[in-house]
Amino acid sequence: MPAQNQPRHRLIVALDVPTAAQALALADSLAPQVGFFKVGLQLFLDAGFAVCDALSKRGHKVMLDLKFHDIPQTVALATAQLANHDIALATVHGYPQVVAAAAKAKGRTKILAVTVLTSLGHEELAQSGFAGTLADLVVLRAETSLAAGADGIVCSPLETSLVRKALGTKAVIATPGIRPLDSARDDQTRTATPQAAIAAGADYIIVGRPITKAADPAAAARAIIDEIG
């Protein structure tokens, strides 16, 4: 099995903590089981690229999840900042102009387009005025994002199989909203187990609170790796 397809490399742990010190301590406690970590908005506002650099110097891969969404010029300039850092994956919102701007400036980083946030439910979708279903919107944004130059997409596990069928095997699919059977759903409305997400076609599963809030985070991570193995 190629290294990137091994279960431990398909788990991305979301370091959704307020400080770099907490994030790095958590990453150290999860190594060597976990080698891929997500830096989101909360952590980035505390530590900026310094925490990304510290993770990469430890030999970890980094997903920078800032979900860029602005005018194309601003998105291109922001994405260009990634070139000075070892960022494996970065997220933008799945609108064609945003994706195209990021794709042109991405360098070595792979750009993932966020289709529909996993906290969005059918009631909120109806309020937005979109006439189709959540799945329709996810597939539409996935297809238009790939056409605009994205390397892959972020979608909930409930739409992963549809997106994989629509996009084929080359597109990267990263799936948040992962909840082991014994975990609370928290503020996620579209969730699935780790095994179900991988079976549906996800390349990566993104897991935060079921690991980071566990009494034994390393044990929780190992259990998820075993489940997807």
Q: Can 170 be counted among the known catalytic residues? A: no
Q: Which candidate in 38, 57, 61, 67 is catalytic?
A: 67
Burial degree of 187 (CB within 10 A; 0-12, 13-18, 19+): exposed
CB of 111 within 8 A of CB of 78? no
Q: Work out the burial of residue 182: count CB atoms within 10 Å of its CB; fewer than 13 is exposed, 13-18 middle, 19 or more buried.
A: exposed
Q: Cα(54)–Cα(76) distance, rounded to whole angstroms?
A: 25
Quick one: CA dihedral 131, 171, 206, 56, positive or negative? negative
Closest CA to 40 of 69, 65, 76, 67: 65
Residues forming the active site: 67
